[in-house]
Structure 1
């Protein structure tokens, strides 16, 4: 091990989007900034964001973002309003990366290549004199009289300030293995229990494995625990080989645990009573038609209808007029509140983000500065914040990075 004789103004641990953005925002002539990254290259997780297309942010009103972070939107308010989605879009477009917004409001690079986003961030860091060292995992961070001593497997570095930007624990192959939690805890921070979020759900005795890939738009999904409904939201749903995914389930996953139940209404906007009344009218008017044909009128996929009839014990060729009242009731129940027992929530290898992390009450929400350790900043997913799909998590990473950078540069300028 060698000791780097250079004293850095700021060391940033983690070369993901939050770390890179914080570095380039804090950089200035004469200011020495070092990024330490344990993987051989920067931005490994960024490269797979949005299936490699990099959903950078969302095009909606920034104030509407606050409801997209579970119970922790209030913490992000100063950061998001201080550096908005419009600011982020302007940053990239002013540097030659065109962006486009899809029909759902998701903002992507026009090339649909995450590598173009990463290349721009690295170029900006390089041009601003930020030093980046990859393949150096940080082993320890210690507080000293003059700042911090940062130890890696290859060297020791000193700095006036340290920024933890290591990400969460999801997609561990990209380097997100929870290192930041250990470093923060060693410095005296509380770390709330971490768990997968934006993860698919594995269903007990799952009846639709052969329908994997079928999706539904705008369904209502309700979460039940011990027989009591605790959450409900509407969104798209996807059948997988082992259970449920899609935005509606992913967003609920932060609150879901094994033993819970998810009940799905496959007909948006239609109550059980409304469907019963409508079906009775259709059956009376078209008694000779097969039940599966009538159900197809609701826009349901044919394969799903057949599987639904099978689950309800109704023959596929049953005519409407011959459907018994009990069977009709069972069918209506499954269409408006199909119960799926939760066997497990997908693990960190499948989860898009991590719930839990460095406790928010110990971090200044305006500056991302630690309230416990002077000179320490915590940004991005290592915080106890997780957002919905749609670009909200990356926006939080960029916004918290800017908040920290502004605080750092203001402190150094005094």
Structure 2
């Protein structure tokens, strides 16, 4: 029993001695090569949970539990440094450190941009199409943000460049000239333009001074590219006005782009001054398939079917206009209806041969057909008045003077094949 107590006493005494061993303290200043103090240098005792950082004067203090240890000094932009120590217990060491800047020489980077200085074209950022609010849903509406381009109807895809007519603008898709319906008279009759924004990979616009290969139109040219996608994709987009389904598929020697779209903008049309029953329904199907026979020769097929029907049974219209002193109001009551049908079909086959990097030979054979029907039979009876423009009154005041009363009759049977 006495022997057991002696062993227990010796164990407790040895533990107390181990705990009571004093720590080794290391302190100093960390400099750079110009002898300037470095702050925020990380100082770590390797293998122990001891770390600290230097202050704004480069001063640090750290402790080690063992007599043999290593300390690592690190700072971003400088080469790390490790020092080994073998000291007695309770030692007080002053260690000044100088860190060397870590200079990494980067390889030369060449940035090259190619641009035809003789070409007066503007590259359109395709990514902006998705974020831009478009009532018509047509790609051409983006052009109104460019200098020299103007539109007079947000429902229409037509645009005027530098004061030219709306029919003086060329549109090309993969070097194929695109034709558009002829009989459309206003924006509410327009459906979907030929350009499917989901299929566009590149777009360039020129407001004059373009190359002779685009033809002899006077105002502008819009050059659209449908190119090979980088991955297989299926995109479904829907809103209160439009719905579209797009697929992009890559095969071993070919690729396929296909788009299906539908548009009904009745929710917008009913907010116009002319009230009535609107029934606009527009849709189209578009396909591009390209097969690479060899690295230098390929054949592509582009097809489009665009269908549109616009029905309107007008009831009445009220329009107020004039000046601050003279306010006029026109009330019209309608009877009759308007029914318009537009069917366009276009297809093209393109053979491309590129024997050299700077030589491309293309053979393009295209076909376009349109069937357009307009039938309207509308009788309108109007009253033209001058009203009191007192501001406190809602919708102006009562009629002060009658300017006229009458009727008119619109009748048309237009067909185009």
Q: Aligning the two structures, in what range does the TM-score lie when normalised by the shorter sequence?
A: under 0.3
More helix by share: 1
Give TM-score, length-normalised by structure 1: 0.20
Give TM-score, length-normalised by structure 2: 0.20
Q: Rg: which structure is higher?
A: 2
More strand by share: 2
Q: Which has the higher contact order (CA 8 A, sep 6+)?
A: 1
